[in-house]
Amino acid sequence: MTHQDFLDQVDAYALGALEPGEARTLEQHLASEGPHPLCEAALARARETVATLAADLKPVSPPPRVWEGIARAIAGGEPVPRAPAAPSTPAPAREAVKALRPIPAWTYSIAAAALVILVLGGINIREAHRSAEMARASAAECKKDLAEARIDVLRKDDALQLLQEPGTQLVSLKPSPPGPAPGAPGTGVVLFNPRGRALFVGKSFQAQATGDYELWIIRDKPIAAGQLKPGPDGRVFSEVRPDVLTGGRPAAFAVSVEPKGGERDAPKGPIILTGAVAAP
């Protein structure tokens, strides 16, 4: 990249309007042996202009919990992601952010609120204890639901991110043979990226009493790609083992029901879903 190339793109870079790859090229230029006084001056000017655009906003005081989270994080009390190399390269750090996100106050306040209501109503202490226990259990249940919802969001974000990567294709898995099959298999789709990543996303999977669902990659022969464990709601999110994605483009994906513990060599149980991978 020449200095002129940099100058041509620096405004879009400062705005964050470049694609990640383009932004990296500009950052590499600045990091390369310099000096780059013109480029740095242009970047400073563009950044100041971009910063000025926020002047139109009325400042808003964040709640105290935000600073409390920061203070905890820098004191080492919470896991925090490593910072990316440069500020304008978008870098996901959601895992640690979830750790920083405070649990909503309502989950903790349920028990306290229940107690207040009971005391005001003149109900006896034993009754109050029992109700408080129930409220605590309810709060715990809420926290559990909340944790599950967060995991769900993370999984969906992960799938969405993979879907947005160049080359990712959706392989829809359909019942095999067509029509309703024994055990009511769910529906599934594989998000497959030939650069070595695949995710299985399914729904309406019933837990098998005597077997496990196994995902297979079909090339010239089937290769076990990992067990699929449905959640209580019948949904399945499963990362395909990366080591089985390295042997060339698969012809298809399939799901079978195998004896407990899965099967490594070839499907022995019924194949319930299959989907062909489209040619590039």
Q: Does 105 bind other proteins (CB under 8 A)?
A: no
Q: Which of residues 160-199 bind other proteins (CB under 8 A)?
A: 160-161, 164
Our CB check for other proteins shows the closer of 44 and 251 to be: 44
Selected range binding other proteins among 126-134, 156-164, 180-188, 192-200, rule: CB under 8 A = 156-164
Q: Does 46 bind other proteins (CB under 8 A)?
A: yes
Which among 250, 253, 233, 252 is positioned nearest to 186, based on CA atoms? 233
Write the CA distances from 211 to 82, 226, 230, 268, integer angstroms: 41, 14, 12, 11
Phi-psi label, residue 181: left if phi above 0, alpha if psi -120 to 50, beta otherwise: beta
| Beta carbons of 227 and 259 less than 8 angstroms apart | no
Q: Does 119 bind other proteins (CB under 8 A)?
A: no
Pick from 38, 71, 149, 266: which binds other proteins (CB under 8 A)?
A: 71
Our CB check for other proteins shows the closer of 77 and 177 to be: 77
Phi/psi at 272 (5° precision) = -105, -25
Q: Indicate the SS3 state at residue 193.
A: strand
Selected range binding other proteins among 11-19, 210-218, 224-232, 238-246, rule: CB under 8 A = 11-19
Name the H helices within 183-257. Answer: none
| Two structure tokens written together for 198 | 């695949």
**Least distance CB 66 / other proteins (angstroms):** 5
Task: Count CA within 13 A, CB hemisphere, residue 263.
Answer: 21
| Beta carbons of 277 and 253 less than 8 angstroms apart | yes
**Least distance CB 151 / other proteins (angstroms):** 16
Our CB check for other proteins shows the closer of 70 and 137 to be: 70
Pick from 54, 125, 209, 278: which binds other proteins (CB under 8 A)?
A: 54
Our CB check for other proteins shows the closer of 74 and 266 to be: 74
Our CB check for other proteins shows the closer of 93 and 252 to be: 93
Binding footprint of other proteins, residue count (CB under 8 A): 60
Selected range binding other proteins among 10-18, 166-174, 175-183, 193-201, rule: CB under 8 A = 10-18
| Beta carbons of 36 and 30 less than 8 angstroms apart | yes
Pick from 89, 131, 176, 204: which binds other proteins (CB under 8 A)?
A: 89
Q: Does 51 bind other proteins (CB under 8 A)?
A: yes
| Beta carbons of 30 and 40 less than 8 angstroms apart | yes
Alpha-carbon torsion, ordered 80, 86, 87, 93, to 10 deg: -30
Residue 254 CA to residue 252 CA, distance in Å, equals 7
Q: Does 40 bind other proteins (CB under 8 A)?
A: yes
Other residues' Cβ atoms within 10 Å of the Cβ of residue 114: 19
**Per-residue DSSP letter, 56:** G
Q: Does 139 bind other proteins (CB under 8 A)?
A: no
Residues in contact with other proteins by CB under 8 A are 8, 11-12, 14-19, 37, 40-41, 43-63, 65-67, 69-71, 73-75, 80-81, 83, 87-94, 97, 100-101, 157, 160-161, 164
